[in-house]
Structure 1
């Protein structure tokens, strides 16, 4: 290994730790269930917490791209870590409804800042064909934090030291300490940032980049990826309950299976894309999801449904990294703005479940939800032809 490669490896450590902190946002799922029980909330009141995450992506993604032009990518990532730290600090002192709303709003804002700035910062360390595989490895690291959150909360609720007085909320100070470590490690790491040519773009000029056909196609692709991700998590247990009469407790394994296969896909994809082109792996991934959609339409067997859910998880695991890297490489002189637009596409996680619910109600079956998911997969199949 050359001295240059060794230097790059050391710089990746704090960046990957920051990817881990990016996964903190997924604690909102398990936390909203505990908050609902603690405060005797209705489903509508509890569901506000996950919705806040996607709302802030819509609002803050593009402005963050503009902010990076002014203060730089590394400083923007550090700012996102500070906001995340504050979001984790607040629940340590109180767990009232308004306090938790403020906490999760800050968590969503911090994550929007982080996802927009961290990916292009990584492009200053790794570039070319290795960017997609490294982004995928970052998503794998992020998934570890997502996995751990429910188990840490469960440990806190049942086994935490009584003097803490936090119960399941012990999750917040544990993750808060990791965020602090990430701040110091990244702050101490020197990363050379390429300067974008010309004057910084205005908000209108950032949105105008959607007028570039390839950027628009990638933006919609990100919406489809996130829509399939959130939609599958929501619908998989419902399919099992509808077709096989399973209880929610038993059917809930479908969501865990999806995350297991998605994490495995991120890990393996990081190495596979060092051997084959991202475009080739993209079509392989999309075909897996297409096969799964056909299976969900036609079969009612438990084992086949599980296989289909696993195929969606594995297939969808690398789509984000490939599309994101392609968009950044398409406009290397406008990476900050492009990053903001791509992350804004995460708002697809709100749109797809809404359409899936409407379709399911109209057909009185989860087949309607599968049909909406299939539209997203078919679009990704079309997008493959446009990739480089």
Structure 2
């Protein structure tokens, strides 16, 4: 009976992970919006920044608010803001409302990223936590995978890709109502409310600093690959825009499969060993992508990169939480601040592409992210992981 109640409480939280995947819609949206509004590569690179900049600005204040108002309330606020974001394109869609939509989507998603994993810890504990967080990333990946398919369908059938927001609005509304009627015990918060200076002060811990920078790079890599895959297919394989956008679905399909395997492998091997092996493979695949010129090879390498990097966010996040479990809220806010990598990396990719004159510049920026992640996988503090680590 207790297990059934736990599973019922998990369901609305897991649906929250699905909504968390809405932010990945920005990758495919760049391709459509760039064509619709005649943007340059550099300007198009700033659309993801409209989403991910807020992870830098809002994450720590959200963590502080979570200490004061509770995790469930913060998740509900994130869903409410996401609902507003998805509803705007239904009412009006132009260049201005496009920016506003993704700004609100970024704010709502930031609050969800900060509060959803800590809320999960109120239901799931111990060694199961890494697997459940990875499972949440699997559900997020399903949402990300469905995004390009949904956008492509509405573009082809109705000539209006932004009509896909009808679906996103409905799902968000269901999630908000479901969570409202779900009772989750958060326990009594006996420690002092987190402060901005205390949260930032965690960066003095070398392990937390590496984890923060690792989150920044893995999100930058993920958003970068999401954005660049259709562009590589257009530039190198001469595919039409509608056909090339399905390259993002290949990426998210591989990432979804990768998270499934990640849940299994992380129950058998240490997080750090998993981190080392996967990121080394990803780095080699990215180097090969520099030279890939045909559609099949590009898609194969994209899938390898997606598969290998799919669970790295969950691994880094969990290692950080395990290092100081009593500071879960503060660490969560700090780690999610690192998701601002999705705001930093795409503009750099766009600038490098305009400067070089091809997508090779963008691939080079992503390779730099992967190099740091390999370094991070070897330098994270061994005391945080299990003794089975090598």
TM-score (norm 1): 0.86
Count of residues in correspondence between the two structures: 379
Matched, 1:377 2:358: no
Residues 212, 145 of structure 1: CA spacing in aligned structure 2 closer, same or farther, 3 A cutoff? same
Structure 1 runs of 4+ aligned residues shifted over 6 Å read: 361-365
Measure how far apart 1:338 and its partner are: 0.9
Which has the higher mean CA deviation after the structures are superposed, 278-287 or 8-17? 278-287
Which has the higher mean CA deviation after the structures are superposed, 364-373 or 8-17? 364-373
**How far apart, CA to CA, are the structure 2 residues paired with 1:196 and 1:291?**
46
Residues 372, 42 of structure 1: CA spacing in aligned structure 2 closer, same or farther, 3 A cutoff? closer
Answer whether contact 2:218 2:369 (CA < 8 A) is retained: yes
Answer whether contact 2:149 2:249 (CA < 8 A) is retained: no
Matched, 1:261 2:254: yes
Answer whether contact 1:55 1:347 (CA < 8 A) is retained: yes
Measure how far apart 1:135 and its partner are: 1.3
Answer whether contact 2:89 2:163 (CA < 8 A) is retained: no
**How far apart, CA to CA, are the structure 1 residues paired with 2:65 and 2:353?**
41
Matched, 1:74 2:66: no
Structure 1 portions without partners, runs of 5+? 161-165
1:143-182 counterparts in 2 under 5 A?
143-157=141-155, 159=157, 168-182=161-175
Give the structure 1 partner of residue 238 of structure 2: 246
Residues 4, 145 of structure 1: CA spacing in aligned structure 2 closer, same or farther, 3 A cutoff? same
Measure how far apart 1:324 and its partner are: 0.7
**How far apart, CA to CA, are the structure 2 residues paired with 1:167 and 1:114?**
28
Answer whether contact 1:197 1:333 (CA < 8 A) is retained: no
Matched, 1:107 2:99: no
SS in structure 1 of the partner of residue 268 of structure 2: coil
Answer whether contact 1:237 1:248 (CA < 8 A) is retained: no
Matched, 1:98 2:90: no
Give the structure 2 partner of residue 338 of structure 1: 331
Measure how far apart 1:282 and its partner are: 2.0
Question: Deviation string for 1:106-157 (max 9, x for gaps)?
Answer: 2211111111111111122122222222112112212222233333344445
SS in structure 1 of the partner of residue 368 of structure 2: helix
TM-score (norm 2): 0.85
Measure how far apart 1:97 and its partner are: 3.6
Counterpart among 277, 289, 309 of residue 284 in structure 1? 277
**How far apart, CA to CA, are the structure 1 residues paired with 2:38 and 2:353?**
26
Answer whether contact 1:73 1:120 (CA < 8 A) is retained: yes
Give the structure 2 partner of residue 317 of structure 1: 310
**How far apart, CA to CA, are the structure 2 residues paired with 1:26 and 1:310?**
16
Structure 2 portions without partners, runs of 5+? 386-390
Counterpart among 83, 86, 90 of residue 88 in structure 1? 86
Answer whether contact 1:266 1:318 (CA < 8 A) is retained: yes
**How far apart, CA to CA, are the structure 1 residues paired with 2:244 and 2:153?**
23
Question: Deviation string for 1:88-107 (max 9, x for gaps)?
Answer: 22332222443343332222
| Relative contact order higher in (CA < 8 Å, ≥ 6 apart) | 2
Which has the higher mean CA deviation after the structures are superposed, 24-33 or 273-282? 24-33
Counterpart among 209, 220, 243 of residue 227 in structure 1? 220
Question: Deviation string for 1:167-202 (max 9, x for gaps)?
Answer: 544322322222122112212222222455531122
Which has the higher mean CA deviation after the structures are superposed, 22-31 or 134-143? 22-31
Residues 272, 71 of structure 1: CA spacing in aligned structure 2 closer, same or farther, 3 A cutoff? same
Counterpart among 35, 55, 58 of residue 56 in structure 2? 58
Answer whether contact 1:295 1:305 (CA < 8 A) is retained: no
Answer whether contact 1:73 1:193 (CA < 8 A) is retained: yes
**How far apart, CA to CA, are the structure 1 residues paired with 2:222 and 2:205?**
26
**How far apart, CA to CA, are the structure 2 residues paired with 1:62 and 1:175?**
27
Residues 203, 85 of structure 1: CA spacing in aligned structure 2 closer, same or farther, 3 A cutoff? same
Matched, 1:218 2:216: no
Measure how far apart 1:48 and its partner are: 4.9
Measure how far apart 1:211 and its partner are: 1.2
Give the structure 1 partner of residue 388 of structure 2: none
**How far apart, CA to CA, are the structure 1 residues paired with 2:143 and 2:277?**
27
Give the CA RMSD over aligned residues. 3.0
Which has the higher mean CA deviation after the structures are superposed, 173-182 or 117-126? 173-182
Which has the higher mean CA deviation after the structures are superposed, 137-146 or 106-115? 137-146
Answer whether contact 1:207 1:341 (CA < 8 A) is retained: yes
Give the structure 2 partner of residue 123 of structure 1: 121
